[in-house]
Structure 1
Amino acid sequence: MPDYFPSYSVVGLLAVVGVLFVAVAFGAARLLRPVVPTPEKLLTYECGVDPVGEGWAHTQVRYYVYAFLYVIFAVDSVFLFPWATVFDAPGYGAATLVEMFLFLGFLAVGLLYAYRKGVLEWT
């Protein structure tokens, strides 16, 4: 028998212990929690406001577009920090500078496209 099987048995044992731990925790929570359903507990609750009207409401798409654009540019801006640290390293200056301008160019094209489509208009 090869030597690497005992190390896999430790991983398997740890996985079994983890699954048992989660199962015991969920079982204990189910047994120990109070179960007293009341009409107030069965209501839909959101932000402290009592639900009024139907469950479906129309939401303007532009709010999602703004959120989506924010997420895109926030995540992309995270790539600027590693670039700033590598830019100063010897031998990487010109190459990383060109790559970052290409990256920022793609972002600018996307922002220009959103502007031309009228997505950034708040009316």
Structure 2
Amino acid sequence: MSDSYGVVAAVVALGLVGLLGAFALNRALTVTYPTEGKLKTYESGVDPVGEGWAQVHIRYYLFAYLYVIFAVDAIYLFPWATIYAALGVSTLIEMFVFLAFVTVGLLYAYRKGVLRWT
């Protein structure tokens, strides 16, 4: 049993040595000349103007949250639907419970006015 752990430890040690060696080789072979132009912030070809802080309306986060809810719903619902016949009635009940939770979240979002575009 201890021989198995020795092999695992050796593989992990070799992996770490290889990783550290790659980082060391990268640092040794990289040539850098830091100038003022290279150290300047650059994004999409536009020079930064003003501060980097801007307010974002909370509605965008709510839309993203709703998207995640429906994406997770689809991840669970589609595979279940493809093999439903082999699973039986108990999984049908479990899926209705899952869909009930998703529906409660959707109704909550609707009551809070998140789904209105105005």
TM-score by length of 1: 0.85
Q: Give the structure with the larger helix fraction.
A: 2
Runs of 4+ in 1 over 2 A off after TM superposition: 38-41, 43-50
- 1:63 corresponds to: 60
- 1:50 corresponds to: 47
Structure 2: state its 5+ residue gaps: none
- 2:28 corresponds to: 31
TM-score by length of 2: 0.88
Give yes or no for contact 1:86–1:96 (8 Å, CA) kept in 2: no
- 1:8 corresponds to: 5
The whole-number CA distance in structure 2 between the counterparts of 1:43 and 1:112 is 48
1:117 aligns with 2:112: yes
Provide Cα deviations, 1:40-96, integer angstroms capped at 9, x if missing partner. Answer: 32222334432111121111111111111101210221001331244111xx33222
The whole-number CA distance in structure 2 between the counterparts of 1:25 and 1:11 is 21
The whole-number CA distance in structure 1 between the counterparts of 2:73 and 2:42 is 35
* Residue in structure 2 matching 1:99, options 86, 94, 99: 94
> Quick one: percent identity of the two aligned structures?
58
